[in-house]
Amino acid sequence: MVRRLLSVAVLTAAMVLPAFAQVDEQQQRWAVRLGVLWPTAGDIRDRTDTFWVYFGVERNFPNVGIVSLDYTEGSGAGFKYSHFALFLNSKQNYAPRLDLLAGIGIVYAKSEIGGDTDYKTRLGGTVGAVYYINPRTEFQVRYHTGGAKETNGIVLTFSLRF
Rg of the chain over CA atoms, in angstroms?
A: 16
- Would you state the pLDDT for residue 150? 85
Does residue 30 have a pLDDT over 60?
yes
- Would you state the pLDDT for residue 78? 87
3-state class (DSSP) for residue 48 = coil
Least Cα distance to 99 among 85, 87, 114, 89 occurs for: 89
Position with higher pLDDT, 14 vs 160: 160
Residue 99's alpha-carbon distances to 18, 38, 80, 92, 144, in angstroms, are 14, 22, 33, 5, 17
- Spell out the domains of the chain, with CATH numbers in brackets: 2-161 (2.40.160.20)
Position with higher pLDDT, 20 vs 61: 61
> Is residue 120 classed exposed, middle or buried when 0-12, 13-18 and 19+ CB atoms within 10 A define those classes?
middle
- Would you state the pLDDT for residue 159? 95
Does residue 1 have a pLDDT over 70?
no
In this structure, of 7-11, 59-63, 100-104, the range with the lowest mean pLDDT score is: 7-11
- Would you state the pLDDT for residue 151? 87
Position with higher pLDDT, 63 vs 67: 67
Kindly report the backbone phi and psi dihedral angles of residue 4, in degrees, each rounded to the nearest multiple of 5, phi listed first.
Answer: -65, -45
Quote the mean pLDDT of the chain: 86
Full-model pTM: 0.79
